[in-house]
Chains A and B, each alone.
Chain A
């Protein structure tokens, strides 16, 4: 490896955390994570990929790493374990991996303390980019990783099922965010009310704000700013038609219309047989077929992320 495992360098906190989620399973979250990791590493950043899909880890397969010896569950179970011990190289310069849990049947049901430990440790790694490949679903385990990230990347397919789950995921993320900040603002009761109403209607987010405003306009404003600072970034995967390519923009527009919250669209990845073939070969499409449409799209997404973070700083070896 060109540079040592990112965990060994001195920086206290990863520069950026990217969490890749999406609610629905099988929409290419791991594929996006793996290739995004490759793209960012190729652009000169030190990248640590973490497979947080505790129930169905397969990021290592996307990268062609083979069955890992050390996984996240080793770290979680052993008390004195160091995160560095479970970081494995991927063969791609500057890109390393923490594979997901393989064995423990209950690994998906992370205990609170374990999650805290993991979060804390991950926050302490010093890669330029920490990419968290989240599992499907909207459990708090998943959501908490998502909202802690600098870039919450929401992958969706241009299909009703996936869009539905993506919306649910986004709503859950916002309510979780609201729950996190509630104590700061003294609006526990409001949030409580909002959360006990039907999940489908994030209309209550407006209501929460309206009530908070009645209570204390200054707080409401801060709350609003905090919520709108949390931007979900969309990636549309497996776009088959030109119309599919614009689904991301439509979703972002509709989301804004109803909830007044901006979403960014990072890009759309065209459905690509090359990507599928690459998965079959257990290689990231970015390495296997760098010229394919899918690879180009992912490079575009990586570029946008780098642009969002300002100049793509190259890490010193």
Chain B
């Protein structure tokens, strides 16, 4: 019985301390909806000030936990670091060096460390516990089952079943075609090679798996194969449109892709000490969907980009490396990184699509938030400009200018930031991400800093 003022950031967001980034963001979004000013659940519950206070705490929690360094620091304050550093050390020993792609591999590496020479078992394990991957929140499911009831308050159960069905065909062929040993070996040999080999294997596997998941993955995979960045907001939307079309496949995409996300995020970050950045991407459970997912992302062999993919290059070319926003230069380093980034996006889309939030199913949390996207979110929410203006007390002309990307007409960045944060909050988006993304755009375009 702790008042929320005394709760840790993890408790505030109701996630386990091992929660990967994806889960933290999802939790934040779910909770911001629950505690939005017009949410019925908080009506007359407490003073408005208290709800505002909670929301501020939530934003703070997200800010800290979504930054690897700050989170590591915070964990240390909480007294968590011992375990996390230990985990990191365990994986760190097997990792050659701490550059981005390596960290991305932390998860498979951990599998290897945890179960040396037991590849088959790992493979089997993954079929036994498909929920781990399908959830996209591996930590939540097994680490802190207590939390589960809260997190799953709205209809995760049915989802799990659906995901199970979709997972089986994927997990089944795994040990045969993509052994952990191969995977690990190639991983240590070098990334490009690893990717080629695994992608070939994967192609094979995908060919053999005749179920819908393949169909829904392919557009994504092939668009990655074009080697262009999938920074634009278009791509995620394509993905989500593909997803409902193939309901069976949807969880599969999510599964494969979601597992990557925790890794993909640090991958784009500026290099951090291995100890800090690996941990979140290395939940103790072996998560073999990850290698699969990665390999599906890197499928250059795939023929022709589908119609979906065509819209992307133009946009993507304009803003290379944007998808992860944080460190474009790193993202440009290799096509691999960008492909991964794209996959991360796909994953977020896919996992989002499974979220019980039909209102804005198509917005990935690390999409580039330009005015157009914000407008689409607003419309998906069924809100008019005037309603937003009334609720946020942002003047309508500002909102119009924001949505029209008229950067020069907008107020200075320091005010714009506040506007964006408010707007994002109203739309149920991550305020920090939106403002960061949008401000980057505006300063880029308007030459303003």
Contact = CB atoms under 8 A, between A and B. Distances in A.
Contacts of A259: 1
B428 to A, nearest CB: 13
B39 A200 contact: no
A247 B41 contact: yes
A18 to B, nearest CB: 23
A209 B1 contact: yes
Interface string B104-124: 000000000000000000000
Contact of A249 (B39, B45, B153): B153
Nearest to A249: B153
A116 interface: no
Contacts of B150: 253, 256
Contacts of A257: 4, 35, 54
A168 interface: yes
Contacts of B50: 201, 203, 258
Which DSSP category, helix, strand, loop or mixed, fits chain B's interface? loop
B34 A253 contact: yes
Contacts of A201: 46-47, 50
Nearest to A165: B44
A250 interface: yes
A182 interface: no
B204 interface: no
A101 B154 CA distance: 41
Interface string A166-179: 01100000000000
A55 B50 CA distance: 36
Contacts, number: 75
A295 B44 CA distance: 31
B189 interface: no
A181 to B, nearest CB: 15
Q: Which of A202, A227, A249, A253 has the most CB of B within 10 A?
A: A253
Given A203-B3, A258-B4, A259-B1, A246 B154 contact: yes
Interface stretch (A7-15, A156-164, A188-196): A156-164
Given A167-B44, A201-B46, A250 B1 contact: no
A260 interface: yes
Interface string B126-160: 00000000000000000000000010011100000
A160 B1 contact: no
A252 B3 contact: no
Given A228-B1, A257-B54, A250 B44 contact: no
Q: How large is the interface on A (under 10, 10 to 19, 20 to 34, 35 or more residues)?
A: 20 to 34
Contacts of A185: none
A246 B355 CA distance: 14
Interface in B14-57: 34-35, 39-47, 50, 54
B83 interface: no
A254 interface: yes
Nearest to A171: B45
Contact of B40 (A209, A228, A250, A252): A250
A247 B45 CA distance: 14
B393 to A, nearest CB: 21
Contacts of B4: 257-258
Contacts of B449: none
A222 interface: no
Contact of B39 (A167, A250, A256): A250
Contacts of B34: 250, 253-254
Interface in B202-236: none
A206 B3 CA distance: 7
A200 B47 contact: yes
A190 B50 CA distance: 22
Interface string A252-290: 111111111100000000000000000000000000000
24 contacts: A158-B40, A159-B40, A163-B40, A163-B43, A163-B44, A164-B44, A167-B45, A168-B44, A200-B44, A200-B47, A202-B46, A206-B3, A209-B1, A246-B155, A250-B34, A250-B154, A251-B41, A252-B153, A254-B39, A254-B42, A258-B50, A258-B54, A260-B1, A260-B3
Given A163-B43, A200-B47, A258-B45, 19 more contacts: A160-B44, A163-B41, A167-B44, A167-B45, A201-B47, A203-B46, A203-B47, A206-B1, A224-B1, A249-B154, A250-B41, A251-B40, A253-B41, A254-B34, A254-B42, A255-B45, A257-B4, A260-B2, A260-B3
Interface of A: 158-160, 163-164, 167-168, 200-203, 206, 209, 224, 227-228, 246-247, 249-261
Interface of B: 1-4, 34-35, 39-47, 50, 54, 150, 153-155, 356
The 4 A-B residue pairs with the shortest CB-CB distance, nearest first, are A260-B1, A250-B41, A164-B44, A249-B153
